[in-house]
Structure 1
Amino acid sequence: MRRLVIALVVLLAVGACGVTIPTDPDGTLDRVRGGTLRVGVSPNSPWTDLPKGTDADPVGIEVELVQEFAETLDAEIVWVPGGEEELITELEHGYLDMVIGGLTARSPWSSKVALTYRYTVTTNVYGQEEQHVMAVPMGENAFQAELERLLFDQDLPV
């Protein structure tokens, strides 16, 4: 009973301070909304692909999801192509807002960045289940929650 009372007091104190949950310590969602969404994209067809020899935007399943997400935020997208390691480092240091490229929940980058909840499940050539995710900055929970709201509503034919 005592723990319940303490928990209620803490909850009321936090609520009285005007703290909203989830929150973004670095303000990613507020900065991106009506602004620019910086997206690192690593080629991994059919999730992402970079047309060769042109300045065209990337294409693929995840590219379309990001475009839809950007529309909900009234944000312009700046695509940053590269390899996973380079892009994850840029995300980790705040130069990108998200990274896409067919990442799965088994990603070795999960200790450096946050991975969204899986938005689709596929089976790889070895018969193993792959839960597909996107990478976002660690701790930017409001931004991640907004993205996941869109991802939860997907019915991907993959």
Structure 2
Amino acid sequence: MASRWAGIRRGGAAVVLLLLTGCGVSIPADPQGTLERVSGGELRVGISHQPPWTDITGSEAPSGIEVDLVEEFAGAIDAEVAWTPGGEEQLMMQLQEDQLDMIVGGFTDSSPWTSHAALTTPYVETKGLDGSTAKHVMATVMGENEFTTTLEQFLLDQDVRL
């Protein structure tokens, strides 16, 4: 009897998947259309100071490892980067209020901001002076899965070395 119900559930799941495919629903999706909006447009990026990942000192343009990665990603989707410097808390609030598309600032996968942002898959690991491993990520708007997976794929295709 249990195997009969399992077969019915699998069949039902297959029907739902076929219906969604037939309706033109793509997975992953961006409910707010972030990837579509920024491609060929403006990529709004929050940046906090965390050398060597990000450096926003002085009157010059931002620099650092993650700044270079964001600029390359923007080029890959034909977007112009609009940088917004600030503290992490301020930037996370702007991300939640849809004023930013992503944030960089040397975040790791142990970031306390997981309730405020979607964190990418780690794209590089570093070793601390104490021998601990840090897995570096970037923060994006929650629920904008197509944008996040496109960024993740870009990051994973890079050869980031320190």
The yes-or-no answer on 1:64 pairing with 2:68 is yes
Q: Where does residue 85 of structure 2 map in the other structure?
A: 81
The yes-or-no answer on 1:35 pairing with 2:11 is no
Amino acid at match of 2:90: E
Q: TM-score, length-normalised on structure 1?
A: 0.96
Deviation for aligned residue 1:124: 1.8
Aligned pair count reads 156
| Alpha-carbon distance in structure 2 between the residues aligned to 1:73 and 1:110 | 26
Q: TM-score, length-normalised on structure 2?
A: 0.93
The yes-or-no answer on 1:145 pairing with 2:149 is yes
Which aligned runs of 4 or more in structure 1 are off by greater than 4 angstroms? none
Amino acid at match of 1:92: Q
State the Cα deviation string for residues 95-132 of structure 1 (Å, max 9, x = none).
00100000000000011110000000011233211000
- For the Cα contact (< 8 Å) 1:39–1:80, is it kept in 2? yes
Q: Where does residue 51 of structure 1 map in the other structure?
A: 57
- Consecutive unaligned residues in structure 2, runs of 5 or more: 1-6
Aligned pair partner of 1:94 in 95, 98, 103: 98
| Alpha-carbon distance in structure 2 between the residues aligned to 1:66 and 1:10 | 37
State the Cα deviation string for residues 19-63 of structure 1 (Å, max 9, x = none).
0111101111111011000100001000000131x1x21000000
Aligned pair partner of 2:11 in 5, 11, 21: 5
| Alpha-carbon distance in structure 2 between the residues aligned to 1:16 and 1:93 | 33
Cα RMSD of the aligned pairs, angstroms, is 0.9
3-state DSSP of counterpart to 2:126: strand
Identity fraction in percent = 52
